[in-house]
Each structure stands twice: as C-alpha cells, then as structure tokens.
C-alpha cells in the first residue's frame, strides 16, 4: 500500500470516529437510547454507568475531541509538509496510542464491571486501534530527516 493510501485510510477512520463519538455524545447529553443493532449490546446500560463521565463530562465527548484533533492533524496540518507533517504524524501516533490504551480500559470496564457492551463504544475502540496501526506504519515508512 502506498503512503497516500495509509494517510487517506487514516483520514476516513478519523471521520468515522467523529460520527461515532458525536452520536454517543448526543445519546449521553439527551439521555436517548441507542439505535438498536438487532439486540446486540446494551448502550443504555453503559452510557448510564458512572464510568460514562469524568468530572461531569461525557467520556464520549473526550473521544469526539480526540477524533476531531486527529482530523485536523491529518487533514490540515500534515498536508502542509515539512516539519509540520512529521509533527502531525507524531501527534496522530500519540493520540491513537493513549486513546487505544484508554479504550482498552473502558472495554475492560464494560466486560468486567458494567457487564454490558456498547457496540458503538467497541467501534470507537477498534477505530482507534486501526488508526494506531496505520500511525505506526506511517511513522516507520517515512524517512527520518
């Protein structure tokens, strides 16, 4: 796969993450129930748990801000080229690395503590994992200056 394909794939995944976490944030703020995926999972139980907020702020909003930052880094900063591009790639790696770790922790909470799984939360975790893999590939495939 070419470098541009990795970049474009990352951009698409970040956009999907924005849509996913915007929906989760909307669910939390409006107290609506999630669109049912054929009875798979229990987003309402996960979204109403004490773990769905940090200091009164929905965790999904932090995810949304993360994906929006990724979109800015990938879609605006990196295309500027030069040092900007390299710093953007490092930023994408850092955000996806820590985002993936935190998502793994949240998935653990879903399984072991809340005893319910939200498919939209799992989707976000998988998007971050794929973005992390692409970030690593992209960092390793670009010659260091």
Phi, psi of 57 (to 5 degrees): -100, 130
| Maximum average pLDDT range among 30-34, 40-44, 52-56 | 52-56
What pLDDT score was predicted for residue 141? 87
Instruction: Give mean pLDDT, residues 19-23.
Output: 96
Is 50 exceeded by the pLDDT of residue 145? no
Residue boundaries of the structural domains of the chain: 3-141
The superfamily CATH assigns to domain 3-141 is VKOR domain (1.20.1440.130)
Are 86 and 93 contacting, i.e. CB atoms less than 8 angstroms apart? no
Rounded Cα gap, residues 93 and 69, in angstroms: 12
Instruction: Give mean pLDDT, residues 77-104.
Output: 92
Confidence of residue 56 (pLDDT cuts 50, 70, 90): very high
Rounded Cα gap, residues 38 and 4, in angstroms: 37
| Lowest model confidence (mean pLDDT) among 50-54, 58-62, 85-89, 95-99 | 85-89
**What percent of the chain is modeled with pLDDT above 90?**
72
What pLDDT score was predicted for residue 55? 95
C-alpha torsion sign, points 22, 28, 29, 33: positive
Rounded Cα gap, residues 24 and 64, in angstroms: 9
| Lowest model confidence (mean pLDDT) among 7-21, 25-39, 67-81 | 25-39
Nearest Cα to Cα of residue 106 among 131, 129, 125, 123: 125
Instruction: Give mean pLDDT, residues 52-63.
Output: 95
- H/E run at residue 64: helix 59-72
Confidence of residue 143 (pLDDT cuts 50, 70, 90): low
Confidence of residue 86 (pLDDT cuts 50, 70, 90): confident
C-alpha distances (whole Å) from 73 to each of 53, 68, 133 are 26, 9, 16
Nearest Cα to Cα of residue 23 among 132, 129, 123: 123
Instruction: Give mean pLDDT, residues 95-110.
Output: 97
């Amino acid at each position: 796969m070419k470098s541009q394909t990795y970049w474009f794939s990352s951009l698409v995944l970040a956009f999907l993450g924005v849509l996913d976490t915007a929906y989760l944030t909307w669910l939390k703020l409006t107290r609506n129930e999630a669109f049912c995926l054929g009875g798979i999972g229990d987003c309402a139980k996960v979204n109403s748990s004490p773990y769905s907020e940090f200091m009164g702020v929905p965790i999904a909003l932090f995810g949304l801000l993360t994906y929006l930052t990724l979109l800015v880094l990938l879609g605006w900063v990196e295309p500027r080229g030069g040092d900007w591009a390299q710093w953007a790639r490092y930023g994408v790696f850092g955000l996806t690395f820590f985002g993936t770790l935190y998502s793994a922790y949240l998935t653990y909470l879903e399984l072991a503590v809340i005893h319910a799984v939200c498919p939209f939360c799992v989707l976000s975790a998988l998007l971050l994992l794929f973005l992390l893999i692409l970030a690593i590939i992209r960092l390793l495939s670009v010659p260091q200056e």
